Structure 1
Amino acid sequence: MQHPTTIRLDQDTVIRLDEIAAATDSTRAAVIKEAVEQFLAYDAWFRLKVKQGLDAAREGRVVSHDEAKDRMRTLGIALE
């Protein structure tokens, strides 16, 4: 069951939503619904990753700063 809700957006945001809706042959409401769903999925993922990181830190499963930099370098990431 869907529940209606109301939000207030500035004109520029509405224009951008309408542009996306037109480009995707969709509606403003559908674009907003998809954006909210994507945000909620990302937020759940982010909170889980933060919890996993905090749990790892509490359990001592961490690496030193230098080791982290070394691992990044092995991935081809240039540092300093």
Structure 2
Amino acid sequence: MSTQISIRTSEDLILKFNALAKETDRSRAYLINQALEEYIAREAWQVAEIRKALQEADAGDFATDEEIAALDAKWGYRAG
């Protein structure tokens, strides 16, 4: 099932969608839906990761000095 919505956006963005639709032989609606799906998935993932990190911080679940030293060694971090 699909529902129609109306949004306001720049003419430039519509022209970009039109050009991409033509180049990919897809409809503009298809591309806009794909863009919205990807945006929602990315933002939902980020919000979930932030919530998870906040829960870990609230529980006092922080990296140990040894874990930080191991990461520094792995990535070649040099202090100072």
TM-score normalised according to structure 2 size: 0.78
- Is the contact made by 1:21 and 1:31 (CA closer than 8 Å) also made in structure 2? yes
- Structure 1 unaligned segments of length 5 or more: list them: none
The 1:29–1:78 alpha-carbon spacing in structure 2 relative to 1, beyond 3 Å, is farther
Distance 1:14 1:79 in 2: 48
The 1:23–1:55 alpha-carbon spacing in structure 2 relative to 1, beyond 3 Å, is same
- Structure 2 unaligned segments of length 5 or more: list them: none
The CA RMSD measured in Å over matched residues stands at 2.7
Distance 1:69 1:18 in 2: 51
Asked which structure has the greater CA Rg, the reply is 2
* Deviation, structure 1 residue 70: 5.7
* Deviation, structure 1 residue 79: 7.9
Confirm or deny that 1:13 pairs with 2:3: no
Aligned length: 79
The 1:78–1:21 alpha-carbon spacing in structure 2 relative to 1, beyond 3 Å, is farther
Poorly superposed stretches of 4+, deviation over 2 Å: 67-70, 75-80
Q: Deviations over 1:4-63 (max 9, x none)?
A: 001111111111111221221101111100001111111111111001100110111113
SS at match of 2:2: coil
Distance 1:40 1:25 in 2: 24
